[in-house]
Amino acid sequence: MLLGEIDDACHCIWIDAATGPPPDSRLSAWHFDHGTEGVQDLVDHYLVRSRQITGFIGMWHTHPDHLARPSHADRAGMQQLLASAELTTPRALMIILGAQPQAWSAWLRDGQLPDVYARLVCHNPASTPLLMAVPAEHVRTAWPGGFALPDRSGHDRPTGRLWLARVRGLIRWPRRTKARP
């Protein structure tokens, strides 16, 4: 999840934290099942700590062997999330980091950020999200999530703040479809 604030007045999005997947998530190279265990407690923690400023603003994930572009499953998942969310303005930030394996090695080695897709997605009530079938390989090879998994690579990873700072300027606001009065 991404936690922070969307400021409409200045067209700024402040990202204060990027979390890992909840413990009841299931991850594989083919699919991701986002869990819910502890999510509301984590959001509530940030809201209390920030005096109701830092809350849920979106989702992030990686495409380890693909371009940083949303798949059909990504688009449907965001619409489903926004349709079920109890948000005043149903919208959320979607960030995808994507690249081929050599780019990820360069990130670990030199801090060179992989490709980034960042968009503020608005709920489209006319769109009925279709859930994608879970690939058979995912069921067989998925592993559990967790908000904080240790780095097992032996390398120092860029921190969340480092890659989020590099994302600045990449987020595109949705275009207005109606003329202002």
For residue 124, tell me if it sits in a domain. yes
For residue 175, tell me if it sits in a domain. no
For residue 177, tell me if it sits in a domain. no
More confident residue, 66 or 145: 66
More confident residue, 114 or 170: 114
Range of the domain at 23: 2-167
**pTM > 0.85:** no
Structure tokens given for 30? 């083919």
Structure tokens given for 62? 């990686």
Residue of 172, 163, 156, 60 whose CA lies nearest to 119:
172
Question: What's the number of domains the chain is made of?
Answer: 1
Structure tokens given for 99? 């690249």
- What is the arithmetic mean of pLDDT over 66-78? 90
For residue 121, tell me if it sits in a domain. yes
